[in-house]
Structure 1
Amino acid sequence: MQPRRPALATAVLAAVLLSGCAQDDVPSPAEPAPSITEAAPSITKPQAVAPLPTESGAPLPAAIGPVPVQRADAALKARGPAPVALDIAGTDISVKVVDVGIDENDAMEIPDSFWEAGWYRYGPAPGAAAGNAVLAAHVDSLTEVMPFAQLKDVPVGTIVTVSLEDGRSLSYRVSDVRNVPKATLDGSAIFARDGDHQLKVITCGGEWLPDEGDYEDNVVLTALPL
């Protein structure tokens, strides 16, 4: 996933180009509410931003994967308190969480900062009764790997803490971490709005594909509520 403000030092889907948390109950006129559709828009590389190099000199991708959409008013009414922070024990992943939506390319937005993760606000929130709460973030800066580069190595059983805007903290236990080829990633499963509640944390990983300007995989961490 491609950084947009490299001086401030990403796949799932995932995971996504917003500044700050969304405070309104409905999207602003600049971000029209997505409508219900069976087709899932792809997370695509923003056309106005040139690729930036990784440590090895390869450019960085922005793609996470397909994102299902739902009427914003229904999703927002049912979502519960928004997450504001994410901490994964035993790692440097201790970051702010901001609300993100869908950009002009029908892509899930990703925060500019490497010290922020985006929560897809049109889906379930952490602590929801059902469905997956999805967080996604960048993996690389211009000169170094960033906290989410550690996501692929998080052991099963690790405790993940999500802080909410109402002051509560929720605890999850990691049940699975895997690299999923982007070509086979099931977006509808990642962004499910029914079934047992799970937390999905996503970034980019695997091999860099120069011809495609993207990483081969998404790293997808799944955690279950305690």
Structure 2
Amino acid sequence: MFRPAPARRLLAAAVLAGALVTGSTACGQENGNGSVPPGAVGPAATSAVPAPSPAAAVPGPAPDPAAIPLRPAVQEAAAVIPQPVRVQVEGTGIDLEVIPEGVEANGAMALPDNHYQAAWYRYGPAPGAGEGSSVLAAHVDSRTEKLPIARLKDVTPGTVLTVTREDGSVLRYATEGVENIAKRSLDGHRLFDRTGSPRLKLVTCGGEWLEAQDDYEDNVVLTAAPLS
């Protein structure tokens, strides 16, 4: 019977007040507390337009309230993009169900507690968004076996990734490259970027196993660009 491994981090991060985040990333084996450093914990809010001070008011009859356009306190949400439900990497055996995950109490991204699901960071762009990085992350192994995503480090440029969305639509991406990045130096802001050209980031652990830290030394980050 499968027994989850001890809790380990998948991408740890520090959140900058009122902004995006930077930080180091960590990963781990199967558990419910693996984590990835997120960007800001939700869409940026826009303050309501302040009312003019009485001193600045222009004398005259009061305007018709129905004719005054009111700006909402928070920007209205853009068109809803279907959530990802599956990710596959051609020729690798990597084929994972995808579920949305948020943030743990410590500010790191939550991961599924099993070996057959990947997490999509639901506070960042979804696959198919017009800009920014869509982040998917999964555990590299369990106590008993290496999982298919352990092959991520060997994926070559040009390899095709397929993302299936909840409405049945399919997106295709071409691998640009795979980086083995030390967790202590991973740029969380770049990984979770909300602006710039749209990209898909698939992340797991890699490098040497550090017994003293009960964690892997690196994160493996695959970056892919959408195919038209």
Give me the TM-score of the superposition, normalised by structure 2. 0.73
Matched, 1:139 2:140: yes
Q: CA RMSD in A?
A: 3.3
Matched, 1:66 2:67: no
Contact 1:5 1:113 in 2 (8 A): no
Total equivalences in the alignment: 191
Contact 1:12 1:190 in 2 (8 A): no
Matched, 1:6 2:7: no
Deviation per residue, 1:18-55 (Å, 9 max, x gap): xxxxxxxxxxxxxxxxx84455577778xxxxx98x9x
Identity among equivalent pairs (%): 47
Letter in 2 for 1:196: S
Deviation per residue, 1:102-160 (Å, 9 max, x gap): 01222200111211100000000001100000000000111110111111111111000
Name the residue aligned to 1:96: 97
Distance in 2 (alpha carbons) for counterparts of 1:63 and 1:71: 20
Matches within 5 A, 1:1-226: 6=4, 13=11, 36-37=18-19, 40=22, 65-71=36-42, 77-78=77-78, 80-226=81-227
Contact 1:161 1:170 in 2 (8 A): yes
- Cα 1:149–1:129 change in 2 (3 A) is same
Letter in 2 for 1:85: R
CA shift, 1:5, in A, is 5.6
Aligned to 1:184, the other structure's residue is in SS state coil
Give me the TM-score of the superposition, normalised by structure 1. 0.73
Instruction: Give the unaligned 5+ runs of structure 1.
Output: 16-34, 46-50, 55-59
Contact 1:199 1:224 in 2 (8 A): yes
Distance in 1 (alpha carbons) for counterparts of 2:24 and 2:165: 28
Deviation per residue, 1:55-108 (Å, 9 max, x gap): xxxxx9x66553222435879944611100001000111110000000122220
Aligned to 2:223, the other structure's residue is in SS state strand
Contact 2:10 2:26 in 1 (8 A): no
Instruction: Give the unaligned 5+ runs of structure 2.
Output: 46-74
Letter in 2 for 1:155: T
Larger radius of gyration: 2
Letter in 2 for 1:132: S
Distance in 1 (alpha carbons) for counterparts of 2:130 and 2:3: 36
